[in-house]
Amino acid sequence: MRISAIVAAVPLLLGAALADPTPRIDPQQLVSEVVANEEQAAKNDNTNWMYVAQVTQKGRVETRRVVECQDGDVSRLVAIDGKPLTPDEQRKEDERISKVVNDQDQLAKQRKNSQEDARKAREMLQMIKDAFLFKFDGREGRFIRLKFEPNPKFDPPNREARVLHAMAGVMLVDGKEKRLAALQGRMVNDVEFGAGILGHLYKGGTFALKRAEVAPGHWESTLVDVHLNGKALLFKSINEQQHEVRSNFKQVPDSEDARAAAQEVERNADWATLRVASAGAAQ
């Protein structure tokens, strides 16, 4: 090829590059990197947070102030269906929290349940890269959008994995940080445990998770939305029908125990503050 022809082709090549700015992505490799980053963060990040949670279950909306601590989460109910608690409801909530933080058996059970849920979550996260086949589906601002469907070659080792493997949907990945930003799935197959005696979930159920970087390098869940058809206890802290929005994250000391967390949650249970936070969380 003559030099003149090469020079003439340069603008065309540059134009093609500008028209397709998306770098070539290996979806499976990207997911493997995301999983590795999330595992590393779970191992090294022991930060505890205080936040506002709005939980919708059975047509009732509860607004709670939650404080994480080494004994698990301590939460205080501050509103029901957008209305602050009555004096009698506040008294009952005081009694409930006092009973929890002074009951060593209850705290031990809570720690055990929390650790068990965390273990299951880590195992399911690790399985994602093998349980699904991913393909690039475009971008949403800073996020890379990946579609996923069950990998027919994956053999689920437990019932949580069987439910996971029965889903198809979309994953959003932060392209720069390579962290999980969102996961939205729908069950495309029925799942039964013990021929249906121990539990069953039917196709059509949905699961959605959204996460945000609440501080540099710290990613937390801001939405957990579960609508599964059937019955199968998978996590102690998540029900088959649940919608929870979390907002207003604030870091608290890592060394706090349940009693200190209870004091923290009481100091920050001001309704006027929570009303603003709740309005933002609901949007």
Supply the pLDDT for residue 151: 95
Supply the pLDDT for residue 122: 82
Residues of the chain with pLDDT under 70: 1-23, 194-199, 231-240, 268-283
Per domain, the residue ranges of the chain are: 25-282
Supply the pLDDT for residue 28: 93
Rounded to two decimals, what is the model's pTM?
0.78
- Distance (Å, rounded) from C-alpha 24 to C-alpha 22? 6
DSSP string, 165-179: HTEEEEEEEETTT--
In sign, the C-alpha dihedral spanning 258, 259, 262, 267 is negative
Phi then psi dihedrals of residue 166, to 5 deg: -85, 5
Supply the pLDDT for residue 153: 94
187-211 CB burial, b ≥16 within 10 A, e <16: beeebbbeeeeebbbeeebebbbbb
The residues that bridge with 132 in the sheet, in sequence order, are 150
Q: Is the distance from CB of 179 to CB of 35 less than 8 angstroms?
A: no
Give the model confidence (pLDDT) of 6-26 as tens digits.
334 434 333 433 444 445 779
Give the model confidence (pLDDT) of 79-137 as tens digits.
999 999 999 999 999 999 998 888 888 888 878 877 777 787 788 888 898 999 999 99
Q: How many CB atoms lie within 10 A of CB 117?
A: 15
Q: How many CB atoms lie within 10 A of CB 279?
A: 11
Joined tokens for residue 225: 């939305």
The residues that bridge with 148 in the sheet, in sequence order, are 134, 169
Supply the pLDDT for residue 13: 36
Q: Is the distance from CB of 245 to CB of 232 less than 8 angstroms?
A: no
Supply the pLDDT for residue 275: 54
Supply the pLDDT for residue 14: 36
Residue 274: its H or E element = helix 271-282
Supply the pLDDT for residue 270: 59
Supply the pLDDT for residue 158: 82
Q: Is the distance from CB of 242 to CB of 55 less than 8 angstroms?
A: yes
